[in-house]
Amino acid sequence: MWAQPAKLFVGLIWVGLMLWGCPGSPEPRESALVDRIGSIVCYVFEPDAQEYLAAPQRFPLSEEMSSAAALTALGTHLSQNYFNSDPGGETPPIRFEVLGVHRLPVSHRPYRLAVINMIDPQLEALQGFFQGSAGGQTTFYMLTATFLQPHLDPPLADGLILLYNGEEFPVFDHINLRGILTPEVIRPVVNNVLYRNRRQAPAVTGCVGIELIRRPWSLSGNGTIGTEGLCREEIRDTADAIERKGRLYAHGPGRSAQGF
């Protein structure tokens, strides 16, 4: 006897909950507007056996794009131009799927944490692109520089979680693609290649060469400083900083920074 009224009561509750949730439906549209990338200059690169990155070229993106759409476009570029040397071949192409861009609210702006899945059905990348020290590090910088765009302030993504076929990346000897990758790790290399190609002013990137990044300073037997890759001001500043810390004991006027 009470079965029919009970079903009606449950149905009314369900309808009420659905109506209650309706006012929140425009929220995704508002979030999409907030997440527009705006007017930014993104770059894509060519691999370089010595410097990891070379030949930066502007990659046009619409101001109205969301960060997820921008990352998808950059991933397509990587797939077509770096990972797949034979797009028309039988081997399934390596591609990238943006699983999400999570916005983490902080005091001054939301931080973006991108989660991207590298899909490699034939494990081609493991057999070629991540093999060896030079090859693995070049691939590391091609991936992180393209997706993070660390020269921007703020970067396109503040953090990157990169998966491999839906799982955590394998362990490599020379690189680490596990966990959250951040722009700070790769920014010096990217700024260096942009400055070498005059894509950014020295005031923005600094004129620190790749040798300084790999070897901040060296001291030879006669007390000279290794100055490869440094501009004149940095040679002087580096020498002074090392002297102040008691790391350099110059032996006479032979110090290579003298006279600048």
Q: Would you list the domain boundaries of the chain?
A: 34-186, 207-254
pLDDT at 45: 97
Instruction: Give me 180's structure tokens.
Output: 């959250």
Of 40, 61, 64, 74, nearest to 145 (Cα)? Answer: 74
Q: Which stretches in the chain have pLDDT values below 70?
A: 1-34, 85-92, 199-260
pTM: 0.66
pLDDT at 33: 53
pLDDT at 90: 66
pLDDT at 217: 33
pLDDT at 55: 96
Distance CA 220, CA 215 (A): 13
pLDDT at 91: 64
